Structure 1
């Protein structure tokens, strides 16, 4: 009896149309005191309404499985990207229904208005598609999907609680990773802003002797092969392979600053994952080091098929720390792990010249043994403030301070260049494209 009561009561909700009808009946009852000619009309209408309510309950509860619903969630979500989710619906009732859907998505999204509606004829199927954009890595808990069904009478709604709690991990941006991988393989990186770099000179990696085609460099003509075959033949060269590319990610408090929902650490993680992927496609070896007040995770450089998954699993767990970076620990780790000259891409952030000066002695030591590229971030808010015209004295002060900080960033680039250290000052949203461009330029110039 208790279960029967729960079945018919806890999942039964009154509709707007029922409240309107009850309001009409109450109004007629009130008017009947002053208008005797209404007679039994209010009672008749109220009786008809009760019969319709019972009929509506019968129609909705006659079938225990009147509607089929399935929510399709990916096994993992991509951080900072629009992830597509689908809700599959099918109507098993012998009449048309109206449905409302509340999907209990993780609290991290802070969405309280995720409500979908649809109308389905008998045996009709529909797919509702929507996107979610996570901005933090970690585990996300999906709850039930709550379905509210109305018959054509629309006096009441029946609720179906479908599904079960599901935990979905959010990994670094693997959706963009696949995009870059495909374009790197097909040499279509220019489609997303990656520049084609003009090669200076030739790589030492000989590939083959081939027939001359228009555009080949005359300096590569192989005269002996030309004499033997009678056609103009040229030597073909490829990029040097198996070079070591290490991404070093700073996890200190300097990387906690947010930008468009993501922290600077998350931008660095997404960029390093994509850079590692492009390096592996180019047949280089990719590695990873994380650093804060002590050395964190370490993935030695390799180019095995499983290397990218190793790097992704490590990056999935990384979080910002609240202490300053121990550059001495970083230098010791670099000297211990990197046994040959490598390209070291150091993702960090400097907000003042004094912050750079504290780290500069260790950066110079690393640059003695490796090709060091320091990547740090442009403060886009300060840049926009410095470009806006000042309206009053307070605006002049704000504009002056913003220009001072923006100028300091440019001074940092000059200071690093003075000591033979490569640098990249970039807005967070353009980090990935600019880093990959710089890597390809370094490969083209054979600087490693």
Structure 2
């Protein structure tokens, strides 16, 4: 009995309309002292209000399942993207209701604005749609769906607590992978002066048997086909279509810098997932190496269907470290893991030319055996600071320092190019697009 009473008590809330009605009754009692002709009107008003209150409680509580609410989400959320959330509310009362829905979103969002008001007719169903944009990978714990229901009388509200509690993992960005698939299958790179050339190679991938013409390599003569045709026939081979594409992600403290809520590591992880997807669509093999003060996870390059899921599962748990990365260990790992010439896309960040010069010997050694692309970031905050007009001596000093760091980034690109190392200097927001464009350009030029 006590449990039932507590249930009624804890889920009953007084509305503003009730307090306004009580205030009106109090006003009538005050006016009665000055206007005797009011007579019993204040007592009648308070009696009517009490009857309405009891009627409101009765019609709201007589139906145990007055409403039903459910939350619909995907099985996992995409980091850095707008993820759709839907709440469906159904009215089982025999009258129309006013509903206030509060969704308890995970604490990581620090949001208290998921508060919705709507009106439902009897047996009506309505949906609420909104988006959430996570900025960190990990587990996100959704709480209850709180529904506050009022009858047409509107003096009180009955609260329904729907157990929508669920834990959803936030994985590296996967919602926008479809648009990168379109980039992979498009043939618009010729608009930028990049021409795809089909060339004959000497790799192990067989192309066709054709008649011998002057200049063909006699080592490729197919003697069996020659005996059948009565003329010289040669085998032709094409360049190997499946190349190894390795993404190397730096997890040192330089990748902790945040831009628009996401750290540089998260931007690099999202770009790695997209690049791996595009590479496998191009029939290449995608692999992964993570680096901090030691070598982290190593995923051998494959193009099997489950490879992308395996890469996402590995990247889901990666976090930045506080120590500087060990480039010497990276070189040793690449030499032992990657057995053939491959495209190595290295996501890192250098804030000064001296930081680059410390690691340049190891980058030069890697580029000796593989096609190395170093991807690092523009500091958008410094760029915006340098574009602001200087108003005093202090702002001139800040503007000059910002321009110095921006110029150093450009010097890093020239320094890398001097040793034949490709580089991509990009803003975090355009990282994925620029990296995929660089890969497609290299692919079209048949440099890999």
Equivalents in 2 of 1:247, 1:196: separation in Å? Answer: 26
Alpha-carbon offset, residue 392 of structure 1: 2.0
Structure 2 CA distance for partners of 1:198 and 1:29, relative to 1, 3 Å: same
Matched pairs, number:
418
1:380 counterpart residue number: 380
Equivalents in 1 of 2:160, 2:445: separation in Å? Answer: 63
Equivalents in 1 of 2:144, 2:93: separation in Å? Answer: 22
Structure 2 CA distance for partners of 1:195 and 1:304, relative to 1, 3 Å: farther
Contact 1:189 1:195 in 2 (8 A): no
Equivalents in 2 of 1:263, 1:176: separation in Å? Answer: 19
Q: Map 1:14-413; keep pairs closer than 5 Å.
A: 14-181=14-181, 183-184=182-183, 187-188=185-186, 197-200=194-197, 202=199, 204=201, 240-413=240-413
Structure 2 CA distance for partners of 1:54 and 1:331, relative to 1, 3 Å: same
- State TM-score, norm by structure 2: 0.90
Moved more, 397-406 or 246-255: 397-406
1:439 counterpart residue number: 439
Structure 2 CA distance for partners of 1:391 and 1:180, relative to 1, 3 Å: same
SS at match of 1:174: coil
Equivalents in 1 of 2:208, 2:254: separation in Å? Answer: 49
Equivalents in 1 of 2:36, 2:441: separation in Å? Answer: 94
Alpha-carbon offset, residue 197 of structure 1: 3.7
Equivalents in 1 of 2:342, 2:415: separation in Å? Answer: 22
Alpha-carbon offset, residue 35 of structure 1: 2.4
- State TM-score, norm by structure 1: 0.90
1:219 counterpart residue number: none
Structure 2 CA distance for partners of 1:197 and 1:207, relative to 1, 3 Å: farther
Equivalents in 2 of 1:184, 1:283: separation in Å? Answer: 14
Equivalents in 2 of 1:356, 1:89: separation in Å? Answer: 57
Moved more, 29-38 or 275-284: 29-38
Contact 2:348 2:376 in 1 (8 A): yes
Q: Where do 5+ consecutive residues of structure 1 fail to align?
A: 210-235
SS at match of 1:34: coil
Alpha-carbon offset, residue 27 of structure 1: 1.2
Alpha-carbon offset, residue 310 of structure 1: 0.6
SS at match of 1:270: helix
What whole-Å deviation, never above 9, does each CA across 1:287-324 have from its counterpart, x for those lacking one? 00000010000100011111101100000000000000
SS at match of 1:313: helix
Equivalents in 2 of 1:208, 1:356: separation in Å? Answer: 47
Equivalents in 2 of 1:20, 1:432: separation in Å? Answer: 57
Equivalents in 1 of 2:130, 2:376: separation in Å? Answer: 35
2:215 counterpart residue number: none
SS at match of 2:402: helix
Equivalents in 2 of 1:118, 1:189: separation in Å? Answer: 49
Contact 1:190 1:196 in 2 (8 A): no
Contact 1:203 1:446 in 2 (8 A): no
Structure 2 CA distance for partners of 1:59 and 1:345, relative to 1, 3 Å: same
Equivalents in 2 of 1:203, 1:32: separation in Å? Answer: 105
Q: What is the aligned-residue RMSD (CA, Å)? A: 2.0
